[in-house]
Structure 1
Amino acid sequence: TTLTPTGPPFPTATWILNDSIIIISSTNINDNGPEYEGRVTLFPSTGSLELRNLVLDDSGAYSVTIVPGEKISGTSVKPSPNLPVEGTSVNLTCEAVGPVFTRKWMKNNSDLTPTDNMILSDNNRVLTFNSVNRKDNGEYFCQTSNSFSSDGAKYIMIVNYGPEKVQLNGPNKTNIKDTLKLTCSAESTPSARFRWLRNGIEILSNSAEYVREEVELSDSGNYSCQAWNNITERTSSSVVHELTVTGLSAGAIAGIVIACFVLVAAAAGGGYFFYKKKYVG
């Protein structure tokens, strides 16, 4: 007898003759009565039954019961409630609707090779990072499958860390009335927020640059910048940067130099005039 399937293969099919079971076929087993040993085959992809070497007892009413296969759907990868922070534990849980026979994890389109800080548990349903670090950044994909279908979902891991290596850059000396520019940088995800201090007192916040258009002598002092990460809630500071403001600006120094040249030129001219007058006289 041949059946025309309406969908994918099914997990269970049972053929019956005159209220007696001929064969039961499921995903894992094929069980038939002893009188059918060696002369019956059930094809799970179609549900068809092949009966060979027929005998008189094979006459009668045949019936079949089929349990349809259930597809997998709605696969998702759910992270821990808190955002991943370097040094903390993170779980990725692969969920799906329908019977899941296997779960397979991938990272950046390659089979996942667990490292020392990773554990797969609950039949690969849960991927645990005991102490997540920035090297764990990437795209994680969980593929779910059974005998009838497959599904999958991805999760992009961004590990938050820092701030680290806070650096303050700028001149150590400048002249009065000149423009001062100091910059601050840090390694951080997400980007750090900065605040500036002079002699321990805050002078600016929420800026990676400190600019003073016309410095005064009072701007001399010990400068530092402080970086803060709003996700990791960690703070780190630069080393102290000492700034000295001198009394003359670059423009004033240039003016003095020019004046000196003028005086020298005037003196030279006066000497020449005196020498010429004396020689003529």
Structure 2
Amino acid sequence: MWISSSFTIAFMYQVCALTAVHTEHRKFIYAAMFDSVLLSGDLKEMKAGMKIQWNFYDRIHRTLILFHESGVVPALSSYYQHRCTYYPANGSLELRRLEVLDSGVYHLSIEGYYPGLSTKPYIYFVYLDVEEFLSTPLIVQDPTYIASHVQLSCIVRNGRPLQILWQKENKPITNSSLYTLASDNSTLSIRNVAKVHCGFYTCTVLNDISQRNISHFLYVHGRF
């Protein structure tokens, strides 16, 4: 996911320092493209004097999504009008037809709502990570003929894999005298190709919402 832990921590410190308010809730949501998510306001009821505001933060900008003051018609920004449903009774926001660009931090502030012993505005953070479903990967052998050195590359055309795993005959492959893996595991290198390297190689790609794999047979007959 693109919302890295360092970005999340830095954002939290920045917002808290600027607003000097008490953070009541934080939530992390992982979702797929084109799905819908409900950003819960966790409000029991809208009362007189309350003001609700939803903002969206990406790595660069802050975007106002909605402002609602009790007794006044809620104002939803034009960009979100056809993609959102707002529930004024509890301050929740439903976001539809998700895109990867919707990944970021959603910030709810409710003035006039003081749960518990707090005397400061209620703050709620939702960290949303929207991922694209992974396509079935492709294993490319280079060179295509058997040489003393062969590379198998695992390529994904759609989606962003968070993890790539290799297996040979259903046994995990790690760096060893037989195999060398690239830092991101996308490429498997085999030096001094020998009979022991013959067999089925499986590449598995994963992200938070999907998992795909494919197998490739490495034929080394004729090297001996």
Question: TM-score scaled by structure 2?
Answer: 0.54
Do the aligned residues in 1 keep the contact of 2:109 with 2:121 (CA within 8 Å)?
yes
One-letter identity of the residue aligned with 2:38:
N
Pair 1:155-2:126 in alignment? yes
The partner residue of 1:126 within 88, 92, 99 is 92
Pair 1:144-2:110 in alignment? yes
Residues 131 and 164 of structure 1: CA distance in aligned 2, closer, same or farther (over 3 Å): same
State the match for 1:265 in structure 2: none
One-letter identity of the residue aligned with 2:205:
A
Do the aligned residues in 1 keep the contact of 2:31 with 2:128 (CA within 8 Å)?
no
Do the aligned residues in 2 keep the contact of 1:142 with 1:154 (CA within 8 Å)?
yes
State the match for 2:188 in structure 1: 210
Deviant stretches of 4+, over 6 Å = none
Indicate the percent of aligned positions where both proteins have the same amino acid.
14
Question: How much is the aligned-residue C-alpha RMSD, in angstroms?
Answer: 4.0
Q: Distance in 2 between matches of 1:115 and 1:224?
A: 45
State the match for 2:153 in structure 1: 183
The offset of 1:84, in angstroms, is 2.0
Q: Deviations over 1:163-183 (max 9, x none)?
A: 3362323311122xx132323
One-letter identity of the residue aligned with 2:170:
E
Q: Which moved more, 1:101-110 or 1:84-93?
A: 84-93
Higher helix share: 1
Do the aligned residues in 2 keep the contact of 1:76 with 1:95 (CA within 8 Å)?
no
Q: Distance in 2 between matches of 1:77 and 1:94?
A: 10
Q: Which has the higher contact order (CA 8 A, sep 6+)?
A: 2
The offset of 1:248, in angstroms, is 5.6
Do the aligned residues in 2 keep the contact of 1:183 with 1:210 (CA within 8 Å)?
yes
Structure 1 alignment gaps of length 5 or more: 1-72, 250-281
Q: Distance in 2 between matches of 1:204 and 1:211?
A: 15
| Structure (1 or 2) with the larger CA radius of gyration | 1
The offset of 1:103, in angstroms, is 0.7
Question: TM-score scaled by structure 1?
Answer: 0.45
Residues 184 and 223 of structure 1: CA distance in aligned 2, closer, same or farther (over 3 Å): same
Q: Deviations over 1:73-106 (max 9, x none)?
A: 75645548xx422155422223479966121111
State the match for 1:170 in structure 2: 141
State the match for 1:84 in structure 2: 30
**How many pairs align?**
167
Say which SS state the counterpart of residue 139 (structure 2) adopts: strand
Say which SS state the counterpart of residue 163 (structure 1) adopts: coil
One-letter identity of the residue aligned with 1:155:
V
Say which SS state the counterpart of residue 30 (structure 2) adopts: coil
Q: Distance in 2 between matches of 1:182 and 1:149?
A: 57
